[in-house]
Amino acid sequence: MGYRLIAMSMLPINKYTLVYGSADGGFSVFNHAKAAKKMKRCAQQLNLKESGWLSGGTPTSCRSLCAAVDIEVHRSNNSFYLLDFR
């Protein structure tokens, strides 16, 4: 007969605030310079190597990120929010 409390933060983000990564499994990928610079610095501290993948299946559309492709970095209110990095 105990109680359970579930708390969830409400972030000021939406589909238009995505600046790095993908929200649709890699179909569309964002890699804006400011977010990429911060993610590269984090990757160096965690000893992670930048990796690439083919977007759309053609070699001319090769991109690279310092994390999994389905990570999401949003920028809102002059702050960065990191989601889906499990």
pLDDT of residue 66: 87
**pTM reported for the whole predicted model:** 0.77
Return the number of other C-beta atoms located less than 10 Å from residue 40's C-beta: 15
Number of domains in the chain: 1
Residue 49 lies in a domain: yes
pLDDT of residue 55: 59
Range of the domain at 68: 18-83
Residue 24 lies in a domain: yes
pLDDT tens digits in sequence order for the chain, 86 residues long: 899 999 988 999 999 999 998 888 878 888 898 999 999 999 999 998 888 765 555 544 557 888 888 889 999 999 999 998 76
pLDDT of residue 11: 92
Residue 5 lies in a domain: no
Residue 3 lies in a domain: no
Residue 76 lies in a domain: yes
